[in-house]
A and B are shown apart, each in its own frame.
Chain A
Amino acid sequence: MEEFEIFDDYLNDKMTFEKRLGFEQQLLENPALKLSFNDYKVALELLRFQGLKNEVEKSNKEYQNRKESKFSFPTIKIAALIIFGLLTFSTFWINLTEGVDLLENVPIAYIEPNQRGNAEEKQHAEFLYLTKDYEGLIKLYDSSNEPTEKLEFLTAMAYFNEKDYNKVLELIEKLELRSKTNVYKNEIEFYKCQSLIGLNKYAEAEGMIQKMEETNPYKSTFDWIYIAKIKILAWKESFF
């Protein structure tokens, strides 16, 4: 039996009582054995200490790694929160978007110019339009046997102000037939689109905007929010 195994048996209490006494006697009588036994005990202490140290070091590494991964968690949380916030905001925005907003927040409105139309009719029709006598203007149009393009357009504008969008579209249709000389082309496109919005036909209105030529100054007044709102309303229209 190796000397170390005897030491192990003694330290682990694996000796019989007699053997134990004998070993202790040997330790007292043999200084070399005593020294060897003490060195063995020191070596054991060292091995156990190092083993425990390694185990704690391992646990420390695991803990630090877990902590690091926890640190990245708030970033994910914040990102999720932002996405959730944006989704909530978008949902609210989509729900709150109504066609009325588009008509109320028109970025541009027609202003009657001085240089267009027949002089006599222009004076009367223009006066009625500028004084916002839309009913009078409509009566003038109804009583006119051969209304001019100018009267037809101003009447369409009168109907628009009266929110009778079907009539606006009816008159715009007539105006579109005068395509050769149509000086109100830009306005016709714009107000046709607005009337379609008034009639909750958002998909058609969106199509109108897309078809508008870039040279039409009315087109450039539609900002991205306005376009986004029409798109949302068109999307809602397809569902309900």
Chain B
Amino acid sequence: MTLYLASKEKEILSKLKSNSELNTCLKYLYKEYFGFLEGMILNNSGSKEDAEDVIQETFVALIQIIQNNKFKGESSLKSFLYAVAKNIWLGKLKKHKAEYMRANIWVESNPKFEADIQEQLSKNEALSLISNVLSTLGSVCKVILQKFYYEELSLKEILAFTDFENEQVLRNKKAKCMKSLTEKLNQQPHLKESLYKALRIF
């Protein structure tokens, strides 16, 4: 059983790294680790809703860390997830000092990967703060940009999801959408600046 889990975990890690079958990987992560992580949050003055939020953020950060080659497998996936969730939850608890003091009792830092986790979480926090600009984009732009830059579909493939006549028209629209997005980012100079810092873009 342990052997099976170990090989399954290896397979999942490799798929996450290559960004393939993400949905299957997430299903596995939820099935195997949701209960464990939820228990941790509930045992540390969190509610079920808190647990759900923290676990979602944990999985986002885990995938990013793996894809950025920062997870070297020095610890088990379970320990790593625990460390990520712990950091996220402590970050949230800091806003409520009394609970943070209490929660501090159970945490145990693992310097091996703590820095990488913290770096990713800072990036995500900065991205979250500015993510509202995406909601101000038109729905067509959102679809085109998400499909092109996140799902990595070609313009030819995206054409099927839109009413554009041909690829060239779609290409022009995509450029306009991207321009609009960068303009919107520039309208929030403070948030953009902290995002630059978090992403280490100079």
Contacts and interface: CB of A to CB of B under 8 A. Distances in A.
Interface of A: 2, 4-5, 36, 38-60, 62-64
B74 to A, nearest CB: 24
A81 to B, nearest CB: 25
B185 A42 contact: yes
13 contacts: A2-B171, A2-B175, A4-B175, A38-B201, A39-B182, A49-B124, A50-B150, A52-B150, A53-B56, A53-B131, A57-B56, A60-B52, A63-B30
A48 B26 contact: no
Interface in B59-114: 59-60, 63-64
Given A46-B134, A51-B146, A52-B63, 19 more contacts: A2-B171, A39-B185, A40-B178, A41-B201, A42-B199, A45-B123, A45-B127, A45-B199, A46-B131, A46-B185, A46-B195, A47-B134, A47-B150, A50-B146, A52-B60, A53-B131, A54-B146, A56-B63, A60-B52
B145 A47 contact: yes
A2 B179 CA distance: 11
B56 A56 contact: yes
Interface string B116-136: 000000011001101101100
Contacts of A47: 134, 145-146, 149-150, 181
A41 B199 contact: yes
A63 B38 CA distance: 13
Interface residues of B, number: 41
Interface string B42-68: 000000000010011001100110000
Given A51-B149, A51-B150, A59-B23, A43 B60 contact: no
B27 A59 contact: yes
Given A46-B134, A51-B149, A60 B56 contact: yes
Contact of B196 (A5, A38, A60): A38
A64 B134 CA distance: 26
Contacts of A44: 149
B60 A56 contact: yes
B182 A60 contact: no
Q: Which of B133, B174, B201 has the largest count of A CB atoms less than 10 A from its CB?
A: B201
A167 B127 CA distance: 100
Q: Chain B contact residues: over half helix, strand or loop, or mixed?
A: helix
Contacts, number: 98
A203 to B, nearest CB: 59
A49 B131 contact: yes
A187 B134 CA distance: 93
A141 B101 CA distance: 102
B192 interface: yes
Q: Which of A43, A48, A58 has the largest count of B CB atoms less than 10 A from its CB?
A: A43
A63 B34 contact: yes
Nearest to B34: A63
A41 B123 CA distance: 13
B186 interface: yes
Interface string B143-169: 001100111000000000000000000
A46 B185 CA distance: 10
Contacts of A58: 23
Nearest to B180: A43
B145 A40 contact: no
B140 interface: no
A55 B22 contact: yes
Contacts of B134: 46-47, 50
B178 A43 contact: yes
Contacts of B55: 60
B56 A42 contact: no
Contact of B30 (A42, A45, A59): A59
A54 B63 CA distance: 13
Contacts of B199: 41-42, 45
A2 to B, nearest CB: 5
B185 A43 contact: yes
A4 B124 contact: no
B191 to A, nearest CB: 10
Contacts of B182: 36, 39-40, 42-43
